[in-house]
Amino acid sequence: MTDSWANSTPDPPSGSGSDLHLELDLDAPGLRAGLMDALRDAVRTGRLVPGTRLPSSRSLATDLGIARNTVADAYAELIAEGWLTAQQGSGTRVARRAEPRTAAPAAPPTEPTRRPPRYGLLPGTPDLAEFPRAQWLSAARRALTSAPHDAFGYGDPVGRMELRTALADYLARARGVYATPERVVICSGFHHGLTLMAQVLRARRVRTVAVESYGFAVYRELLNGAGLSTPPLYVDECGARTDELARLRGTCAVLMTPAHQYPTGVALHPDRRAAAVDWARATGGLILEDDYDGEFRYDRQPVGALQGLDPERVVYFGTVSKSLAPGLRLAWMVLPAELVPEIVAAKGPVDWSSALEQLTLAEFITSGAYERHLRAMRLRYRRRRDQLVTALAERAPGIRVTGLAAGLQVVLELPPGTERPVVEAAARQGLAVRGMAQFRYEVPDAGWRLPEQDALVVNYAAPPDSAWAGALDALCRVMP
């Protein structure tokens, strides 16, 4: 049996360039009949679906190494049988009525149909409709035009120098981060960066990483999956109780969101910022700073990154997932100098992120387009937040809005016992929201309990303009 590929060799007379794999015994007698059987089988099994254009007789004959008349005769007979059709200028195609004959699959168990929500206010994403496509495309063209030849190789695991240089300059200027290109490592999202960090911590025999008592469960699960225990660090209206780190015996690192605690929306108090750095210096511990939306502050200048207080004790994580789009899969770590080789070793011998996307982001930053986009989105998100606060004050005056005027989400405090009913009522209205209970984290032996607080975490940034008014109206309708 010979497996033969009909490849995409140019065929000027027919213009056909389709690939067609046929299992055909070229040494057997009755070659035309064998070709017809192979084509019928391809249609029956669904490999050639109705409407598929076949290679020209000349192209297929050349690729199979047989006479063109053999292929032409086989096509003609299959056309006569109704398997194929042929029209002038359209080539030979699988007939529309030649449906594949396969056994009907067993019917899956009947489940209730779940309609997608009309409005999504789930925290985590920016307004994807406002991604700056034209500016990004212009930056991509410039980056591709000037890209060195080595950009098309596997790449350095630390990431492209062009992007690391652009980020070092931007982060120092805009976020108060002490950064040099040598300390910056590019990763494909915060999740990827935290995975690498967990590997390094385990290799250093770290066993415990404290996490805030409100946060994403997926990150705790990631750390737990790496063999690290995750005791909760209490969060109140002043942020994480960093003065309690010394009480968490055996803790060698802490994962925090100092600029804008996720999801409560508070900033870490200056005294607690100092306490965290003092703990790290005294114990040799590490602070893992997630600066997920640090650029978005609406009532004043954003607070600077904690990393600037001690670059050798803080690992800074940043990303474009909130400022541009999560689909870019671009993030970075600014590391203490001693950790760079260990992170690079954990990352492996090649880069994980597209070099061309990295070069585009570098061009986007250095051209000023990134900061122009941020300024525009700050105005948009601030307007959205103001509209939400005003609408609730008018239509649901009993609901208290908490958290900084910052980021992409807001916390709405609800009357006791109403969180779950409100979430369910929102779902019936086609509105996707998330309750604060999904972010709570406490353990029985922590020595404290989180106060019972019914609340919603609402993302006012995500809906496109066409859906915002409807989403806001639906939100107000379900408020108790």
Kindly report, residue by residue over 277-287, the tens digit of the pLDDT.
Answer: 999 999 999 99
How high is the pLDDT of residue 3? 46
Domain ranges across the chain: 2-94, 120-124+376-478, 130-371
Residue 271 pLDDT grade (very low, low, confident, very high; cuts 50, 70, 90): very high
CATH 1.10.10.10 is held by the domain 2-94 = yes
CATH 3.40.640.10 is held by the domain 130-371 = yes
CA nearest to 165, candidates 186, 151, 150:
186
Mean pLDDT of 418-422: 95
Q: In angstroms, what is the C-alpha Rg of the chain?
A: 30
Write the DSSP symbol of residue 438.
Answer: G
- 7-21, 114-128, 419-433: range with lowest mean pLDDT: 7-21
Residue 407 pLDDT grade (very low, low, confident, very high; cuts 50, 70, 90): very high
How high is the pLDDT of residue 99? 57
How high is the pLDDT of residue 110? 55
- Determine the angle formed by the axes of helices 217-225 and 190-203, rounding to 10 degrees: 30
pTM comes to: 0.84
User: 199-202 long-range CB contacts below 8 Å, 24 or more apart?
Assistant: 199/226, 199/346, 200/339, 200/342, 200/343, 200/346, 201/226, 201/228, 201/252, 201/253, 201/286, 202/226, 202/227, 202/228
CA nearest to 194, candidates 266, 282, 255:
255
CATH 3.90.1150.10 is held by the domain 120-124+376-478 = yes
